[in-house]
Amino acid sequence: MHVGFIYNIATDELLRERPEMTLRDSDSPETIKVVTQALEAGGHRVTGYNADQKLPAILAQKPFDIAFNIATGVYGESRQTHVPAMLDYLQIPHTGPGVLAEALCHHKPQEKMVFVGNGVPTAPFQLFLRGDELLKPDLQFPLICKLTSEGASMGLDYDSVVHDEAALRKKVAFLLEVYQQGVLVEQYLDGREFTVGVLGHSPAYALPVGELHFGGPLRIRLDEMELDQFEQLKQALGRPDLEMSHMESETRAPADLPPETAARIQQIAVDAFNALGCKDWARVDLRMDSAGQIYVLEVNCGPGIAPDYALPKLAYAAGWSFEQLVNTILNHAIERYPHLSGKDQANRYQHYLGSLTTG
């Protein structure tokens, strides 16, 4: 099968326009290489495409059978939806969900509203669009301040956990001004953090539970840029003195948990995946409070897939290889498209039509 592998690579134009977002959204050459090799090991012909302004014209030619998409898009708060939207519009099969689930996964307040409506446990929260909004009475310090629509730890540092009103107002005002988007203020849960890979559809299923182990002053996950990307960022910003934030956490799998607790975490992760309408693959991050209650932090559609990242580690804990993980994701997507999977679409409706004539 011919697979179009879609990803993000930093261009000079984007580095001039939005250096930090561009580099945090970019996929490393090593990731692109190993995913390509994994798909080829699965017997597929692979062509790579950068998710830049040239992509729409390329996709209009429908140059491949199915897309393996890890791109985050380029512009706007819902940029993660742009590639799936183009693929759906052009009726090109692809891994991962369509526009709705992608939009929900990448807008944290809306995501959490879906959790609340579907009985998926999540911590109390408030969306700030201005710095002077009154704090909800059910939110108690400490709180954590996050950007609504970003991943890769953008806008997040140890000052994001605030312990009083003054610190909260300062951090919210800073994020609003610098990033020009809303701020999610959430109850900070200072407990164990877990991550679960969820794959498939109808039904979805969970990989083994992983746990984040922290070495920094606070239990928060800070993603670290690749060294060459950080050098590009310093050059683009004209800041040779800029210091890189180092990731002081590590995902280990499987987590040291009683079987019943691990099963409960896996079920909550699958429930969150289903509530948002995810497909094929995602990674769900969760936290435990002091009473042992589990809360979903967020669902990551199309999470980082470099071999040393969290999702592959969860697959390794299940006894899988990296190639098996990549091709399992692809195969789950293929299953959803009858003309690719070999399923006769006409037969899918035969039972329904028969019931109309005999009912």
Phi-psi region of 113 (alpha: psi -120 to 50; beta: other; left: phi over 0): alpha
How large is the average pLDDT for residues 243-255?
Answer: 76
Model confidence pLDDT, tens digit, residues 1-52: 999 999 998 777 766 666 666 666 788 899 999 999 999 999 999 999 999 8
pLDDT-wise least confident of 100-104, 152-156, 192-196, 204-208: 152-156
- Express each pLDDT in 306-353 by its tens digit: 999 999 999 999 999 999 999 999 999 999 999 998 865 444 444 334
Give pLDDT, residue 10: 77
pLDDT on residue 210 = 98
Check residue 268 and give its pLDDT.
Answer: 98
Output the pLDDT for position 356: 43
Domains observed in the chain = 2-105 (3.40.50.20), 124-187 (3.30.1490), 193-341 (3.30.470.20)
**Token couple for 180:** 């020009």
- What is the rounded distance in angstroms from the CA atom of residue 108 to the CA atom of residue 146? 9
**130 near 173, Cβ under 8 Å?**
no
pLDDT of residue 227: 54
Task: Please check the confidence at residue 355 and state whether its pLDDT lies above 50.
Answer: no
The whole-number pLDDT of residue 21 equals 63
Q: Which has the higher per-residue pLDDT, 199 or 228? A: 199
CA distance 231 to 244: 9
pLDDT digits (tens, 9 = 90+) for 136-172: 999 999 999 998 877 656 778 888 999 999 999 999 9
The pLDDT-based confidence of 103 (bands split at 50, 70, 90) is very high
Predicted confidence at residue 100, as pLDDT, reads 95
The model carries a pTM of 0.87
